Amino acid sequence: MADLQPISILLLGDDNVGKSTFLSRLALLKNNGLNSAAAQGSEAPPLLRDSDQPFVLELRSRIAAFRLEFSDTKSPENWRCLQPDLVVLCYDISHRPSLMSLQGRWIGEVRTVFPHRDRLPILVLGLKRDLRREDDPNGTLYPHEAYQLSQQLRADMYLECSAMTGELMPQVVDDVCRRAVKTTTPEGGQSEGACTLM
């Protein structure tokens, strides 16, 4: 089989929204399989360190093989040096300002740093789904609110999960991987401005 084709995936968002925990749960998925008890269990995954990045996930089929390289960098300068094929904007479902920050800061940063990538696919990922509280309408975000903002940002897809508990992680990883692999096709990974809800 041919060498693995690298695909760079960059996770961006405010501090403490759950990006590192997402990558840590991804490590459990890689080691134990998408539907394993460890991948979807309530036990918190061991956190990856910055030195563990990029976190690599290999996908193989009879036709092609891919090396997905996930980066979550806290250093505001380091991520600007990367050349991602896919950007995932992350926010904390239980913290409304982190979603507003996607609109007020992160989408502008992405468009400024990667202006030559006019077809760069962007996904919006709500993390900490396990912290959504029905009795806190001012702090907790509901899917329709985040989906509407995703449409305004012209994101390609809106996803949410809990990396801490593993809830919806297999589905999110599958959607991210499919979108990442699509970046290698002539059409690229970006849809025509229509955000999908997953």
Class of CATH domain 5-197: alpha beta
Q: What is the pLDDT of residues 132-164, one digit of tens each?
A: 887 776 667 888 999 999 999 999 999 999 988
Distance CA(8)–CA(120), nearest Å, equals 11
Q: What is the pLDDT of residues 40-95, one digit of tens each?
A: 555 566 666 666 678 888 877 777 788 889 988 765 568 888 889 999 999 999 99
Query: Residue 126: is its pLDDT beyond 90?
Result: yes
Going by pLDDT thresholds of 50, 70 and 90, the confidence category of residue 198 is very low
CA 120 → CA 10, 59, 137, 145, 194, distances in Å? 11, 21, 33, 23, 14
Neighbours of 83 (CB within 10 A): 10
Break the chain into its structural domains and give their ranges.
5-197
The secondary structure of residue 105, as a DSSP letter, is I
- pLDDT value at position 1? 43
Q: Under 8 Å CB-to-CB from 44, ≥6 apart: which residues? A: 21, 164
Mean pLDDT over the full length of the chain: 81
Please provide the distance, in angstroms rounded to a whole number, between the alpha carbons at the two ends of the chain.
32
